[in-house]
């Protein structure tokens, strides 16, 4: 399968009465984009308002909370369209010609869910930790219709962002690209014949799919409903995989990351030179132990079936997915295929704690993304796009992260339980019947913050004491079991 990407360099973004790309400048009529976004019924029902802003590299601008980042593209030749199964019809993508508006992105922001969304700083020390500080960002700030469930709102904002990116991408349809590149992977027999002496290498791409708004979509299908399978690398590059993920910022693959996956890019760079890049194997990250076993079995089986010599395995998330990572790695090694894994670490602020929740001697080749528990300080910036209301609650933050002077102190990632393997459905999945919410006896609470380590969106710290948002609590009881002073109790009425 061969894909030609035509890169249109965007050097500036300006609001205008007319939407167009001209001489490297993207002109945007915000009202036209908004009208296109609101043509979707789910957006109409769940998104109260949408407004647009522009953030450029080097500006004293902070964007938060960030939901997704999307690179605008348009299919100009070949089957399918952008974001198949969601925006375009379900046709196989990854071939033909696609134009890319390079150097910019559409960013969805605003009070999305209220936890675990990230921060993009366009300047200062925070800019060093995000690739999006280098882009021209068209930011779409959304607000929620009152009473809409968080799952429905996340879906609507996801669609809104993809529709905005589709509108912007269409502006590049008739623009001559500044650069064109071709990417191709061959069939199994063709590859063997053309590269008989090169090692056969694949990419095992683990997709976040644990639920609780930790979701990834493949051709519009929630990845948790899929089995491990094979996909052409160019399908990933052409919008087949999108993010629906509200996982912590430093562990999150946005849609932009899927479109511009650096593992795919680096493997293509070496394809035909030092290795034969055969395919991607996409596998999900599960909650049930049986599902973890099934998916990892299939990953190893496909690696053996394809007669691969080696694979790169990357994970999204941490803690629970560490088990999926090690199960995949161990089983693939056991069928005779060499592995190298890519992961970040949670080693504590001093770097001395166990950095992964699982391990195995066969996982002996690791590329680390660094320690997510490292504490950083972000100075106050002149402008905020979105709101600072959720800084203390966002992953990596804590009560007092947002200082009175407007600066922020936070970890790159807040600590959570290292590993939870569930043998029943997650209580936060919307099809599961919920128990009565819990409440906190503030006289008993000592403010130790152990409950914050659960990572539950319903728990926060108010005036030094734990607080439960009863609109988010599903009564699972984990906090009650964890609390050493028995400050949590059910609100269920006796009798």
Catalytic residue set: 246
Instruction: Please count the other Cβ atoms lying within 10 Å of the Cβ belonging to residue 59.
Output: 16
| Contact (Cβ atoms closer than 8 angstroms) between residue 249 and residue 119 | yes
Q: Which residues pair with 409 in a beta bridge?
A: 377
490: tokens are: 């059910």
CA distance 279 to 298: 15
* DSSP string over 46-87: HEEEEEEEEE-TTSSEEEEEEEEEE--EEEEESS--SSBTTT
* DSSP string over 408-466: EEEESS----S---BSS--TTSTTSPPPPPEEE-TTT-----GGGGG--TTEEEETTEE
Q: Are strands 459-462 and 465-468 parallel, antiparallel or unpaired?
A: antiparallel
How buried is residue 248: exposed, middle or buried, by Cβ count under 10 Å (0-12/13-18/19+)? buried
| Contact (Cβ atoms closer than 8 angstroms) between residue 277 and residue 194 | no
Helices (H), 231-388: 233-237, 255-259, 262-270, 289-305, 320-334
């Amino acid at each position: 399968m061969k894909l030609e990407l035509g890169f249109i360099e965007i050097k500036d973004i300006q609001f205008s009465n007319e939407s167009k790309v001209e001489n490297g400048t993207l002109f945007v009529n915000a009202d036209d984009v908004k009208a296109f976004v609101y043509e979707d019924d789910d957006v109409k029902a769940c998104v109260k308002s949408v407004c647009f802003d522009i953030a450029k590299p080097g500006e004293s601008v902070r964007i938060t909370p960030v939901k997704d980042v999307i690179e605008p593209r348009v299919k100009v030749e070949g089957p399918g369209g952008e974001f198949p199964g969601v925006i375009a019809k379900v046709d196989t993508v990854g071939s033909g010609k696609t134009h890319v508006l390079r150097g910019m992105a559409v960013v969805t922001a605003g009070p999305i869910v209220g936890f675990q969304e990230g921060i993009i700083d366009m300047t200062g020390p925070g800019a060093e930790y995000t690739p999006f500080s280098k882009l021209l960002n068209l930011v779409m700030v959304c607000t929620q219709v009152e009473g809409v469930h968080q799952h429905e709102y996340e879906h609507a904002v996801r669609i809104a962002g993809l529709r905005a990116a589709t509108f912007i991408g269409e502006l590049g349809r008739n623009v001559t690209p500044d650069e064109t590149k071709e990417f191709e992977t061959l069939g199994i027999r063709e590859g063997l014949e053309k590269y008989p002496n090169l090692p056969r290498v694949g990419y095992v791409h683990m997709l976040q799919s644990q639920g609780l708004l930790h979701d990834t979509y493949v051709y519009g299908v929630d990845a948790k409903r899929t089995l491990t399978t094979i996909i052409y690398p160019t399908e990933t590059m052409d919008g087949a995989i999108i993010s629906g993920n509200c996982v912590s910022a430093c562990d999150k693959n946005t849609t932009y990351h899927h479109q511009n996956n650096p593992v795919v890019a680096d493997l293509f760079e070496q394809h035909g030179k030092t290795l034969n890049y055969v395919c991607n194997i996409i596998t999900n990250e599960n909650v049930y132990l049986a599902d973890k076993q099934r998916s990892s079995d299939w990953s190893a089986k496909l690696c053996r079936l394809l007669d691969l010599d080696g694979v790169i395995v990357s994970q999204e998330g941490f803690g629970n997915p560490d088990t999926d990572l090690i199960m995949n790695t161990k089983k693939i090694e056991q069928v005779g295929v060499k592995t190298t894994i890519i992961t970040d670490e949670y080693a504590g602020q001093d770097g001395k704690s166990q950095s992964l929740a699982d391990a195995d001697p066969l996982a002996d080749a690791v590329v680390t993304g660094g320690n997510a528990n490292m504490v950083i300080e972000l100075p106050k910036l002149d402008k905020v796009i979105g709101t600072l209301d959720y800084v203390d609650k966002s992953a990596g933050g804590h009560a007092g992260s947002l200082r009175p002077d407007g600066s922020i102190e936070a970890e790159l990632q807040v600590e959570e339980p290292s590993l939870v393997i569930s043998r029943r459905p997650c209580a936060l999945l919307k099809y599961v019947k919920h128990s009565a919410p819990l409440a906190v006896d503030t006289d008993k609470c000592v403010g130790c913050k152990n409950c914050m380590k659960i990572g539950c969106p319903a728990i926060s710290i108010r005036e030094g004491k734990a607080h439960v948002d009863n609109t988010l609590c599903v009564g699972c009881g984990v906090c009650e079991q964890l609390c050493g002073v028995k400050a949590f109790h059910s609100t269920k009425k006796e009798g």
